[in-house]
Amino acid sequence: MKPIKNQDPQIFELLEKETDRQNYNLELIASENFASRAIMEAQGSVLTNKYAEGYPGKRYYGGCEFADVIEDIARDRAKKLYNADWVNVQPHSGASANAAVYLAFMKPGDTLLGFDLSHGGHLTHGSPVNFSGIYFKPEFYGVEKETGRLDMDKIRDKAKAVNPKMISIGASAYSRDYDYETFRSIADEVGAFLWMDMAHTAGLIATGNLKNPLPHAHVVTTTTHKTLRGPRGGLILIGKDGENTMGKVAPKSGRVKNWSELLDSAVFPGTQGGPLMHIVAAKAVAFGEALQDDFKTYQTQVQKNAKALAAKFMELGYKIVSDGTDNHLILIDLRNKGLNGKIAEEALGKAAITVNKNMVPFDTESPFVTSGIRIGSPAMTTRGLKEAEFEQIAVLIDRVLQKPDDEQVHQSVENEVRELCERFPLYDFVIL
Ligand code: DSN
């Protein structure tokens, strides 16, 4: 068998270019990170060849003896990481994990109360262009205009008014921690399921840097590749698999199933076929990494770096939504600088700084333009940058945003970005 370099030089060359881009750009997209060599080795392993529909000990294919052990290890490590009674490690992505939650707990037409997408929420929490907003009836809560934070009294009033079957928590651009106890009391008051999608903050939650939702939410989903720093994929967890008596989930006939059984069926065969066993193996490696002491050190630095970034931007006169951050990201409202997200993202891209344009709460621009940018610390913290370098990053970004059309500024900032990247090397291989 030939290596890819000889088998497919066209794709190999593009992989070389992408490696170079990752090595020499400031990666500040809040949902991205750099996986370890061990995780990538598992992803690139022979397990990509294996069909293993079903679950350990109950497969629809032969030859699953090693796949079974690997999936059991992944499940045990994830349970330990979050103090969970039950997990499913098979969802191909966060959206797939969320689809299984809908299938298990909702019927078409049921009402979901979710975090407004335009205030930082997620596509799969009821957006009208997503299945969650097409098959279910979405209602939304959002942040307050003055504070950029959630007001739990208003969420309670909204829940009472719309009587949802399920309430979702979790967002892609919210920089504050959640009041899970109050969310649960609201859910109990209106008889709704409480679902937390912790995709963005899963790493910070694993190490106790943010509160754990599992004791409060009926079900929790996540991706595995953001702050958790694993392979691209999804995960579903239950804190206590005993709260299974709500009549709403019991099938019309037959015995009442545990939620874990309903969710396992909702993943396979409900919404997926064969699991990606090479990714399940990589998840096991990632959970193993997250259980090490140095993962806590990493997450603490992620938070410190995000705070340093927020403080420096505020010193430079930028408006940070909610005036700071508890987690790994900040959301900058650029309107006081006479800029929009599209212009900022494009100008920063020319200076080798990668961010994404983002809607800010009560935005007046379209999602293609937006009034803000979202900046995250996880990826560059993985490379070893600390507070001083993140303050330097804020200054570099400010230099570009002061003159977004100036090519000389783009060039001089790119040169400094390269120096910074050379001081904190990343990958020394293209293909393992
Ligand atoms: N697209 C991801 C993000 O950037 O936050 C969420 O799925």
171 CA distance to ligand 1 middle (Å): 9
Give the pLDDT score at 27: 98
| 33 close to ligand 1 (CB < 6 Angstrom) | no
CA angle (375, 201, 233) in 5-degree steps: 100
121 CA distance to ligand 1 middle (Å): 10
Q: Three-class SS string for 253-273?
A: CCCCCCHHHHHHHHHHHHHCC
Give the pLDDT score at 4: 96
Catalytic status, residue 51: yes
How many Å apart are CA 294 and CA 292, to the nearest integer? 6
Q: Which residue has its alpha carbon closest to ligand 1 atom 4?
A: 31
Give the pLDDT score at 251: 43
Give the pLDDT score at 214: 96
What's the Cα-to-Cα distance from 67 to each of 81, 244, 285, rounded to whole Å? 21, 29, 14
Burial 65-104 (b: 16+ CB within 10 A, else e): eebbebbebbbebbbebbebbbbbbbbbbbbbbbbbbbbb
Sheet of strand 234-238, all strands in order from the earlier edge strand to the far edge: 86-88, 234-238, 219-223, 193-197, 166-169, 111-115, 137-141
How many Å apart are CA 135 and CA 355, to the nearest integer? 32
Give the pLDDT score at 240: 85
Q: H-helix or E-strand containing 275?
A: none
* Closest ligand 1 atom to 200 CA: 5
Catalytic status, residue 182: no
Domains of the chain as residue ranges with CATH? 42-290 (3.40.640.10), 293-423 (3.90.1150.10)
Is 246:193 a contact under the CB 8 Å cutoff?
yes
199 CA distance to ligand 1 middle (Å): 8
Give the pLDDT score at 432: 77
| 94 close to ligand 1 (CB < 6 Angstrom) | yes
188 CA distance to ligand 1 middle (Å): 29
How many Å apart are CA 91 and CA 94, to the nearest integer? 7
Catalytic status, residue 149: no
Options 19, 24, 32, 51, the catalytic residue: 51
Per-block mean pLDDT, blocks of 10 residues, the chain (432 long): 96 98 98 98 98 98 98 98 97 98 96 94 95 98 97 98 97 98 96 96 98 96 98 96 50 61 95 98 98 98 98 98 98 98 98 98 96 98 98 98 98 98 96 80
Q: What is the pTM for the complete model shown?
A: 0.96
Options 5, 211, 232, 257, the catalytic residue: 232
Catalytic status, residue 342: no
How many Å apart are CA 273 and CA 52, to the nearest integer? 9
